[in-house]
Amino acid sequence: MALTSASTLTNAFDQYKDNLSWEGSTTSARAALEAIRFILMSRPSAQELDGHKYSYESLLEEKKALEDYLKTFDTTNRPRATFVKGRMLT
């Protein structure tokens, strides 16, 4: 689910919970990162949502782990280099 401006914190938290096992899946990691960014936008210092407690600091740590993972394993947006065989003129 892609979060939009019409999404709620509950939607973002549900998306985050649906993608908790993101390691090994760049798709799940992107969805979890999107959800965390949405939740962080509200800047919670400490909050409880749907019976689960979370803090701003713990979300920042998870966000960093997700970004590091995607930087390493997500190849969808990486620039690619190509090499052309050439000859040297003498």
Tell me the pLDDT tens digit for each residue of 34-67: 999 998 887 666 677 667 777 788 888 999 999 9
pLDDT for 55: 78
Question: What pLDDT score was predicted for residue 32?
Answer: 95
Question: Which residue, chain included where needed, has tokens 């701003």?
Answer: 56
62-83: pLDDT as tens digits: 999 999 999 888 877 666 666 6
pLDDT surpasses 90 at 15: yes
Residues with Cβ within 8 Å of 59's Cβ and at least 6 positions away in sequence, in order, are 36, 39, 40, 44
Question: pTM for the complete prediction?
Answer: 0.68
Burial tier of 88 (Cβ tally within 10 Å: 0-12, 13-18, 19+): exposed
